[in-house]
Amino acid sequence: MGLIYAPDGSRPWAKSHAMFPTPLDMGDDRLRIYVAFVDENMVGRICYVDVDARDPARILEVSEEPVLDVGEPGAFDDNGVNPFSVVRAGDEVRLYYIGYQLGVNIRYLLFSGLAISLDGGTSFKRHARVPVLDRSDSELLLRSAPHVAAGGPPWRMWYVAGDRHISAGGTTRPTYNVRYIESEDGLRWPTEGAVAIDLQNDDEYGLARPFVTAWNGLYRMFYSVRSHERGYRMGYAVSTDGRTWVRRDEEAGIDISPRGWDSEMIYGASVVRNEHGIFMFYNGNDYGRTGFGYAILE
């Protein structure tokens, strides 16, 4: 359906990008889409773009300031924060996000944090200065991209993890797959997950941003497949229990466009199902530099 929003560069903390669109239903036909805008040093801060739930191309509001800024020096999120899952829990809105920390022998580390809003999702405060998904022996370098299903117990999470790097695209990059864990309260999580979806050939080296939804009796996961040959494309899998998955990437229903803002890459998708349709929000070229747009299921 086209592009929705990209920053115009007029604010120093929002020079470019609108990464990882992450939706929250605000009621009254308003969807709040949390994204990460980045500054001139590619440091992300979490903001929001409110759109009409009936017509997501219609922008209602853009946040004037970040709802979550970077962490303090030395923290796991001192070089950027990106949103991945927003859920309601009683009077709270919980934002599960990833934090970037730069490395020396490797480029960066990615671990997952939690911030909580008590004003309906307008501002957030960190649950702790440390991650809720921190490094572990089998998931050493990244425990990232958490998608959380609230409620429970148990709370359920699908996320990506990895413990090694490979050479790709002329540089060193992590390799990772999708894993699954459960929690009694959404605050304390196991140190190791079960593999939910794995790489299926030598061309693939990353499965990113799992987003799980359900309809017609099936769990449906949309995720981003990173490969040497094609870069990021959309993946899709189905499950009857949320634990065991069957990949059906050929049924993802969307690919890059012939030209324009999403003609080279498509990734970072989230999906909203409401009375107006089933909408996908996603990033296009250059990891969201061209902003985020949407598609609707036919």
CA separation for the pair 136, 159 (Å, rounded): 14
CA gap 271, 92 in Å, rounded: 22
CATH of domain 72-281: 2.115.10.20
Give the pTM.
0.96
Please give the Cα distance from 26 to 269 (Å, whole number).
19
**Comparing C-alpha atoms, which of 61, 53, 6 is closest to residue 29?**
53
CA 174/CA 167 separation, integer angstroms: 9
Distance between the two ends of the chain, CA-based, in angstroms? 11
List Cβ<8 Å contacts ≥24 apart for 255-259. Answer: 257/284
Q: How far apart are CA 57 and CA 279, in angstroms?
A: 11
Q: What is the sign of the dihedral through the CA atoms of 242, 245, 246 and 251?
A: positive
| Residue 58 exposed, middle or buried by CB count within 10 Å (0-12, 13-18, 19+) | exposed
Query: What confidence score (pLDDT) does residue 165 get?
Result: 87
Rounded CA-CA distance 246/244 in Å is 7
Predicted confidence at residue 245, as pLDDT, reads: 98
Which pLDDT value is given to residue 294?
Answer: 98
- Closest to 34 (Cα-Cα) out of 20, 15, 17, 44: 20
Show me where the domains of the chain are located: 72-281
The pLDDT of residue 145: 98
Q: Which helix (H) or strand (E) holds 286?
A: helix 285-288
Spatial strand order in the sheet of 277-283: 2-5, 292-296, 277-283, 267-274
Angle made by CA atoms 111, 112, 116, in degrees to the nearest 5: 150
Smallest CA-to-CA distance from 179 within 229, 224, 143 is with: 143
**Which amino acid would we find at residue 36?**
A
How many residues are recorded in the chain?
A: 298
Residues forming beta bridges with residue 182, ordered by sequence position: 156
Question: Per-block average pLDDT, block size 10, for the chain (298 residues)?
Answer: 96 97 96 98 98 97 97 98 97 98 91 98 97 96 96 93 86 92 96 96 95 95 94 96 97 96 96 95 96 96
